[in-house]
Structure 1
Amino acid sequence: MTDTEDDPFGEQAVEVELAGAMPVDFVAFHSQNGLAFLHYAQWELGDPEVAAAVVEDVFTFLLQVWPEALQEASLSGFAWAHLREHVARYKAAEVVPVALVKTAQFAALRRASRRQLKAQPVSTLGLYEAIAELPERQHDVVLLTFVLDLERKKVAQLMGISTTTVRSHIHTARRMLAEKIDLDWTPGEGKDL
């Protein structure tokens, strides 16, 4: 694998260039969160180029208000809220299809709980439509945890919430999804939906 394949968005080159011109803590925040923000925006918007532009706008905004952002109770929560706001603003301005596009459905389906899904005919699942209808926080946690396959600790860090809150959102989302798509789900600690 080449360096370009390891870093498909050129993040390392950008970070090296930015390191001398921007606050070190901003560059570190960008380095830790930029790729996850980009993946989230891609899943939500369905277009990698649009997602990259939206995430760039978010980080440009954050840089402009960086001293104030550092004063926030949760820098990650502040940044996440602005990412969601920018994505929502783009969706409102453009006609964007359901956030979880067909290719995302198949990728996530492979990772979903096999024993639960094998018993259900694919045409009756409606899982991805149900995920799109979850309340904001549960939607984000499910998308980041199960579709983008991030660890709960990373999800908590990105969203500026505790891992206990992530676990609570997962539990609530599982219950809501099970009811919505009529799955027999027994609560447990496994990561699969």
Structure 2
Amino acid sequence: MVGIDGGGRADAHDDAPGPRTHQDPPGRTPEATAANLAADTTLPNDLVALMVMHGEAYWKYAHLHLGDADAADDLVDDVFADLAAHWDVVLRQENAGEYCWGVLRATVDDALVGLARPSAFTSAAFTVAMNGAREAFRALESGIGLFAAIGDLPERQHDAVVLTYVLDYPIVTAARIMGITKGGVYSLRRDARRRLAAALDLDEQTAEKAEEQ
């Protein structure tokens, strides 16, 4: 899907639980998925809070890459169920929020490997962006090549761009979802902008002005 920039989850999440397979009823919304799991009073309070706050974002991210709403439902169910089963591992992490986000990413990667196909991100993101992205994002648009270039970004840069530009989350919300600081998101986007400008043969100054609009 996307590369690892050295600060990604390949090492940080070696002990992360892997995806599980089960069948759930179709037609659920991401909100219902999180609500159903959160209704289990045996779950740790911190995990319930994570599901309520970020369950929809996890689902949207998975949907972009899997290209299938039901598959995204199942995957997010599995992520939260496995986090619950290994909550002692989560609590040992220096940054639990960043770790949980890494588990989601690892599970998406593993699901794509299991399906033996690439991420659906390029076409899915193009559709989402053209249906209502910010003008600043459209100013950087250079055909579907932009979205292919975003898919090739190092994973943390990719996530920052996807959450703030494609899914249109505010910087502070994206930071909470990824488990990093606002400054970290700004830094990742700045590095991503440079890479995208180079990949698309754009003037970086023009790209920077477009982002600031």
TM range (shorter): 0.7 to 0.9
Q: Which residue, out of 10, 32, 42, partners 1:10?
A: 32
Q: 1:115 to 1:148 in 2, by over 3 A?
A: closer
Mapped partners of 1:74, 1:189: distance in 2: 33
Q: Given the alignment of the two structures, is residue 127 of structure 1 paired with residue 146 of structure 2, yes or no?
A: yes
Where in structure 1 are there 5+ consecutive unaligned residues? Answer: 1-6
Shift of 1:94: 0.7
Structure-1 residue corresponding to 2:191: 172
Amino acid of the structure 2 residue aligned with 1:10: A
Amino acid of the structure 2 residue aligned with 1:126: G
Where in structure 2 are there 5+ consecutive unaligned residues? Answer: 1-28
Q: 1:39 to 1:182 in 2, by over 3 A?
A: same
Structure-1 residue corresponding to 2:170: 151
Q: Which residue, out of 94, 115, 118, partners 1:94?
A: 115
**What do residues 133-167 of structure 1 show as CA deviations (whole Å, max 9, x unaligned)?**
11111111111111111111111111121111111
Aligned residues of 2:122 and 2:151 also touching (Cα < 8 A): no
Q: Percent identity?
A: 34
1:36-185 alignment to 2 at 5 Å? 36-109=57-130, 110-111=132-133, 112-113=135-136, 114-117=138-141, 122=143, 126-185=145-204
Amino acid of the structure 2 residue aligned with 1:184: D
SS at structure 2 position matched to 1:10:
helix
Mapped partners of 2:107, 2:72: distance in 1: 10
Mapped partners of 2:35, 2:119: distance in 1: 33
Mapped partners of 1:77, 1:191: distance in 2: 27
Report the TM-score, using the length of structure 2 for normalisation: 0.75
Mapped partners of 1:48, 1:17: distance in 2: 22
Q: 1:106 to 1:97 in 2, by over 3 A?
A: same
- Counting matched residue pairs gives 180
Aligned residues of 1:45 and 1:96 also touching (Cα < 8 A): no
Report the TM-score, using the length of structure 1 for normalisation: 0.82
Q: 1:21 to 1:46 in 2, by over 3 A?
A: same
Larger Rg: 1
Q: 1:127 to 1:9 in 2, by over 3 A?
A: same
Aligned residues of 2:67 and 2:124 also touching (Cα < 8 A): no
Shift of 1:75: 0.8
RMSD of aligned alpha carbons:
2.3
Shift of 1:15: 5.5
Q: 1:59 to 1:98 in 2, by over 3 A?
A: closer
Structure-2 residue corresponding to 1:4: none
